[in-house]
Structure 1
């Protein structure tokens, strides 16, 4: 089920390079905006997904309508949606062959987590990716090579 050991979470973050952010916002006051900026500064490529602003750009990256449009390998799907909408994002992550799903702090969907794990994806639930990178002192992707 969801990863809970610090070592497992750190390994996931260290091995990842590309993160698709479902629910990314172009509004600087939204948590997803700040987390995306942090992840980019840490060396990750972050691909924003938000059907309401498809075709626009957030922090230099084209905004996709859904995960299936991206067309390149995704290491982590970071979900910034309400818990009741997380399942759809998880199902899309499974369909595109993502390696992991990450449900942000406060996002909990046990059934979706079980589907993802059964499909072979690593799962992190109810954790902020930015907080975990800082807490676990994960080196930047650029430094990790």
Structure 2
């Protein structure tokens, strides 16, 4: 799958609220630091994880599933296995008729679910990371790689 830089840039600049499905409370997990990064870029991040439901993460209440999210979102970012994608996409499309983007993280793809969302006019990105794309497109990549603001290994 290839996506134009213009499409990715447009998605990342128009997105104001993102629901992150499968977010972790562990600060060294990719789902946590991607969610944190998007929040630092000015997006409201709504965490979705049934195991953390009711807790507060990144300043927001964690919801068990998308049906519980009380506010509209522009993008749903999926940190789940590919086989878990169809019900997530179905729930997102049912919950938000004006949803703009379904984003599947690196290693996550589901062509049928993507086609269903695209048929409804939703932009779908598969097998990409919004943090990496944001850093690449807005000149935030550093010589050392991906800047998370956390050191997760010891010398």
Q: TM-score, normalised by structure 1?
A: 0.90
5+ unaligned residues in a row in structure 2: which ranges? 141-155
Instruction: Give me the whole-angstrom Cα distance separating, in 2, the residues matched to 1:9 and 1:3.
Output: 10
5+ unaligned residues in a row in structure 1: which ranges? 140-145
Per mean C-alpha deviation after superposition, the further-off stretch among 128-137 and 52-61 is 52-61
Residue 11 of structure 2 is aligned to residue 20 of structure 1: no
Q: Count matched residues.
A: 138
Partner of 2:146: none
Partner of 1:142: none
Decide which structure has the larger Cα Rg and report it: 2
Q: TM-score, normalised by structure 2?
A: 0.84
Partner of 1:105: 106
Bigger share in helix? 1
Partner of 2:31: 32
Shift of 1:29: 2.2
Shift of 1:71: 2.2
Whether the aligned pair in 2 keeps the contact of 1:14 and 1:138 (CA below 8 Å) is no
Instruction: Give me the whole-angstrom Cα distance separating, in 2, the residues matched to 1:91 and 1:38.
Output: 26
Partner of 2:62: 63
Q: Secondary structure of the residue that 2:76 maps to in structure 1?
A: strand
Instruction: Give me the whole-angstrom Cα distance separating, in 1, the residues matched to 2:6 and 2:131.
Output: 16
Partner of 2:85: 86
Alignment RMSD, CA only? 1.6
Residue 128 of structure 2 is aligned to residue 122 of structure 1: no
Which stretches of structure 1, 4 residues or longer, exceed 3 Å deviation after superposition? Answer: none
Instruction: Give me the whole-angstrom Cα distance separating, in 2, the residues matched to 1:90 and 1:16.
Output: 17
